[in-house]
Chain A
Amino acid sequence: MEKQELIRKFLSLGCMVDQDALQAMVDNPSVADRALQMITSGQKVQTITLQWLNHQPVTIIQTFNKINGSITPDDVIRSVQKRYDSMRETLSKQMQNMLSINKISPKTRNFSLISMIKENNGNSILVEDDTGEARLSLKKELSDKSKFLVEDEVVGLECEQAEGIVVGNIVWPDIPLGRIVAKADSSCIFAANVPDGKPFDSEYVFSFGNPTNSKAFFITNTPAVNTFPDPCMVRIGDVKILFLSCTEYTKTWDVAPEVACLNLLKKRSLDPRINLASADMSLSDIPDLIVCPTSGEPAVLNYKGTTIISTSYPVCWSANLKTRETFKISMA
């Protein structure tokens, strides 16, 4: 493609192109094609540079939008049932002595249920499966776990019946142990809560350091360069990155955002509560990285091969997607 044509094309997509990048695209049309594909699939960039071109492509693989178009009651019912069935399949691999609610008799001693939470009042829960509902007491020792139970989520419950049914353990769908650690030949910088009007571009950020030699950076929850919808999952190479601000659950559970994300990861859902106007928030793909903003101390934690990063201006994290090393960059 001619230079002029390329400039026109990129301008129509809202981007400018620097000279080095332009020359590279003229010399190698496949580079131009790749750049076009990246931008049309959602990658936002103000100026296309050689550095940008040398990046691995970032592809948005899942967004969790509100529903488009009309839905019927049957659509909602099918969606709820499908979600239940899918979680049940995951949980059934971890549970033993499973029963449905209608099969519980006074003689049943130890058994498991896979059910949807209808109500949680701290001491007991009301649960439902496709055969009925039941009220179960919670063992006192479970209070640290049961506080994370959310309406409409699907969990496994290990129960015992003596005088009434008591839940002895709560099992979440969770992510499997021993996953192969996904890698990408790239490094990224993650930032969040960047104040309005703040000049925030790679030059500015890299001036504070670039320990992983990152070539790209991502900002969550701030209208700026490289912003992604919240929530959304992207892929760089083989690495899947989930951007998520779980403010509501951070408040409800009174925990740090990275802990809230961890619990949502275990539930395999970004928001278990069923909302008729929203799409299903189930996490069928397991992210390798989760990035969320925080109003507290930025932190990193690792869980079964998934790295959870919480970050807030003036701190951002530099992450090597090959080795999963992370470094804090302070712009204070």
Chain B
Amino acid sequence: MDVEFQLLDCDYILVDGVVVRLFGRTKEGESVCAFFRGYDPYFYAQHKDNIEEIKGFLVKKFGKLVKKVDIVERFRPIGYTQTKTKMLKIFLTDPSQTPLVRDELLKASLVQEIFEADILFKYRFMADHGIYGMRWLKVTGTPARTDTVNTNIKINAEKFEQAEDQLPNLRYMSVDIETLSEMEDIPNPKNDKIIMVAINFHPHFDGKKSIVLIAKRYKNVNSAIAAFRTEKEMLEEFAKIVDTYDPDVITGYNLNDFDMPFLLTRMAENKISRVIGRCNQKASFSRKIGLRHRNDICGRVVVDVYELIRESIGKGLLRLKRYGLGDVSKALLQEGKLDVSYKDIPKYWEDDGVNFEKLIEYSRKDSELALRLLLEKNMLDKFIEISKVCGLLLQDVLEGGEAQRVENLLLREFNSHGYVIPLKPSDKEIMRRIDERESKGLKGALVLDPVTGLHTACVVYLDFKSMYPSIFIAYNICPTTLTTKADDNIKTPLGTEFVSKSTKLGVMPKIVDDLIKERDGIKGQMFKASGDERRLLEAKQLALKYMTNSFYGYTGYVRARMYLLDVANAITACGRDIIQRAKHVVEDSKKYTVVYGDTDSIMVKIDTMDLDQAFSTGKEIEKTINGHFKGTIEMKIENVFKTLLIMGKKRYAGTSYEKSNGEWKEKIVMKGIETVRRDWCNLTSDTLLKVLEIVLGEQKPKKALEYMREIVKKLEKNEIPVEELVITKGMSKALKEYKGTQPHIELVKKMRKRSAGTAPSLGDRIGFIIIRGTQILSERAEDPDYAKQHGMKVDSKYYIENQILPPLERVFEAMGISKEEIFGGGKQRMLSDILKGVNTKPTVDSLNAVDGMVCSKCDRSYRRPPLTGKCNCGGELLFFSGDQRSKQFTPLKH
């Protein structure tokens, strides 16, 4: 029989030997488990002149665990050589014992070196059989009779072949739980019960889009609500649903760190079997790695949408201040959560009427939103394609790092070229690498000194297409081509030498070249494709780009198997050399100036305001540079900036124009300028954006400065609505777990004393403003409503000095507007005076109460003087109280 399916998971069991299991789903929607026997784990050991001694040792020490020992020839991984080395290939009967055998051999000092003794068995198998995660596989075999798995199709595999890629047909199940906590604390699965489990399905399950399971009697049950007498019965039903629906992907929001570990623990506490995977014998489990949880469900993939959102934000693909499900779904789906506060849950749970129904719908909605985010935003596409490219299973792509992805690819290619790969470095080796980096240094990319300021003539942005991958190929850079001895070497600018391609093509350059070619092919296909097909091709080409660009970082990563400082340094040295040469080529023309360059791009100022003219000049520059590099590396014009403000290295903003279908498309580009920071109030972000709009759009810095001064004036006069000044921070743990003082935490303590029932609780984001007073900053955080009701005044100085001025000063200074000009007038005058146009603040003889100390030059305030005794600007310090200043303070006696 033949079965074609998309591979989701792979593991092994021991039943009279090793049995590999591959799990997936067919195009028709049937779940599959393919069993394969006859494949044994193995690793390599480079012996001394003592093969028989090693064989004897293995037999004596491990008996039947060692199946056989072959003598083979392989290339060692580091350094160019034409000769293979004799090695022992040691086969075992149990993969889990590989580390033991390896360690004993090393301890007995019987071998020179060991290779590949720490490759996960599933990946050993997949690499040797050309099997990749999430790819379509054709398995030929005979039906298997077994109850050990609960898939629709069970097959004893005899042969594997790669099948044509198809659209996935996966089943998704989204889970959200509600719990009841005894204490006002993080719910504890040892003591606190689950009261609800909300599940959403895609595709529908038994005609149902969703179901909510509740652990109490309820009169209004229907097909979408199921009630149970106890938590235990509810969880048993949950397990049954998973088994029946048989999802490929289980998802949720913060599923990994909360819902899943909680569910599994409660199942254990209720003595319910945790076998919710596709194997009927393996219990699912949750393990803590560092601060995060990892959840293992055999045959299924666990996807946490919250982690995907954080990853997108981290990569700059999404700009959001808050990461809660409500905020994210509002921003991306234009629909938020239902309005039920965490602290109302116990009250609503006890209700039997409208409030209880609200709670049910609230839970259902949470589950629905997580699933919609995953599916409507196609959040898994990229990871599925990365899995297909690098070969890792989807779960490992989601959980693992970049190095693991690259190494899986390297394992396959190195093996196919007769190479072995090294073990992961030991802690001692990692320390040695760190020390080596310290002493030799890992020189990074070249960032040219920018010409800071506001450029109002056109600036063309050119970048090298896939610079680092191209360097790998052009210089044949690879651990396997590193040499000092051959004749026709390629020498990099740093002096490191690699053999030429004609002598030996390096494995890494080959991989990179294949990836680039494949990506070019995919891009070509995209022109003709549309809809889902185009979407998947786009994801694929991004995955290929991502993998291609991962190789450089990998070579410089101290925990990488193939870490070689010389290789990493060689690559960046080539990159630096290329950028320098490109700059010289441009400036040798004496017509243009390079105003900035970073790693693989340069910005060239053209003396024109006309976009078309700038673009055509850019094309000429592109041709000249490419001519210089003779095809080894290619530069391309990306866009034209009509206005560009460069504030420093890696910090610029401009109005960018890109040509698309003969038309110019405009957008504002900002790099290194944080317009979305969670600890800024809206006033800061809005003011910064507005200032940049004026500067870039109208090219009027003075107007932008006036605008900022207006805002500062309004702040001083308390004319800014309090809502614009609210800073938000989350409370992610119980109060007592916070060390030190933080404004939002001090505020929560205050609010609890005022009214414990309405105060924020765990998981809430707390909005606060800073009010005036003599206490330390954290004690002056106040609830905006409370402040308004009690007529408390906002500390406008704090907002001016800590929120508005820092980001905006940098913008204006980059335009050549000095601090004096921003602050106005001579040294003695203070900012607020300039803004108000009044004279120096009144100085009195003595104050008998003070708010703190203030700089006489720049008006910056301090709770206590800096250790230097002066303000950061060098100004002298005075005491202040409200508007008054003095050089004398006479505290009143109590």
Contact = CB atoms under 8 A, between A and B. Distances in A.
A283 to B, nearest CB: 19
Interface in B121-139: none
A141 to B, nearest CB: 13
A122 B867 contact: no
A80 B868 CA distance: 10
A73 B742 contact: no
B190 interface: no
A122 B742 contact: yes
A81 interface: yes
B419 interface: no
Contacts of A80: 864-865, 867
Given A70-B846, A146-B740, A273-B776, A128 B888 contact: no
Contacts of A69: 890
Given A73-B878, A109-B438, A120-B739, A276 B853 contact: yes
A66 B438 CA distance: 52
Contacts of B740: 119-122, 125, 146-147, 149
B888 A107 contact: no
Nearest to A74: B869
A84 B867 contact: yes
B869 A77 contact: yes
B430 to A, nearest CB: 11
Contacts of B863: 274
A279 to B, nearest CB: 10
A122 B894 CA distance: 35
A143 B733 CA distance: 15
Nearest to A140: B291
Q: Which of A66, A152, A276 has the most CB atoms of chain B within a 10 A radius of its CB?
A: A276
Interface string B15-52: 00000000000000000000000000000000000000
A130 interface: yes
Given A76-B864, A120-B739, A276 B852 contact: yes
Nearest to B851: A276
Contacts of B528: none
Q: Which of B739, B742, B865, B879 has the most CB atoms of chain A within a 10 A radius of its CB?
A: B739
B741 A70 contact: no
Interface in B856-894: 863-869, 876-879, 887-891, 893-894
Interface string A261-301: 00000000000011011000000000000000000000000
Contacts of A120: 739-741
A73 B741 contact: no
A210 B887 CA distance: 56
Contact of B776 (A71, A81, A122, A151): A151
Given A66-B891, A70-B888, A276 B739 contact: no
A136 to B, nearest CB: 13
B434 interface: yes
B866 A76 contact: no
A116 B867 contact: yes
Interface residues of B, number: 31
Interface in B666-694: none
B850 interface: yes
A72 interface: yes
Contacts of B776: 151, 273
A1 interface: no
Nearest to A66: B891
Nearest to A161: B438
A278 B894 CA distance: 12
Interface string B772-808: 0000100000000000000000000000000000000
Interface in B620-654: none
Interface string A57-79: 00000000011111111001100
Interface in A35-91: 66-73, 76-77, 80-81, 84
A143 B879 CA distance: 36
A67 B518 CA distance: 78
A276 B867 contact: no
A66 B889 CA distance: 13
Given A73-B865, A80-B864, A66 B894 contact: yes
A259 to B, nearest CB: 16
A146 B888 contact: no
Given A120-B739, A122-B742, A276-B889, A129 B867 contact: yes
A254 interface: yes
B736 interface: yes
Given A109-B438, A276-B853, A73 B739 contact: no
Nearest to A252: B741
B593 to A, nearest CB: 31
Interface string B293-326: 0000000000000000000000000000000000
B865 A277 contact: no
A162 interface: yes
B869 A81 contact: yes
Given A71-B889, A81-B869, A120-B739, A107 B438 contact: yes
A130 B742 contact: no
Contact of A143 (B739, B887, B889, B894): B739
A152 B776 CA distance: 11
A274 B850 CA distance: 13
B738 interface: yes
A91 to B, nearest CB: 15
B889 A70 contact: yes
A263 B97 CA distance: 51
B867 A130 contact: yes
A31 to B, nearest CB: 36
Nearest to B887: A72
Closest 4 pairs (CB-CB, A-B):
A120-B740, A122-B739, A147-B739, A277-B891
Interface of B: 434, 438, 736, 738-742, 776, 846, 850, 852-853, 863-869, 876-879, 887-891, 893-894
26 contacts: A67-B891, A70-B888, A71-B891, A73-B853, A73-B865, A73-B879, A77-B865, A81-B867, A81-B869, A107-B438, A109-B438, A120-B740, A120-B741, A122-B742, A125-B740, A128-B866, A129-B867, A130-B867, A146-B739, A151-B776, A152-B864, A162-B434, A273-B776, A274-B863, A274-B864, A276-B853
Given A70-B846, A71-B888, A116-B867, 7 more contacts: A71-B891, A77-B865, A77-B869, A81-B867, A120-B741, A121-B740, A128-B867
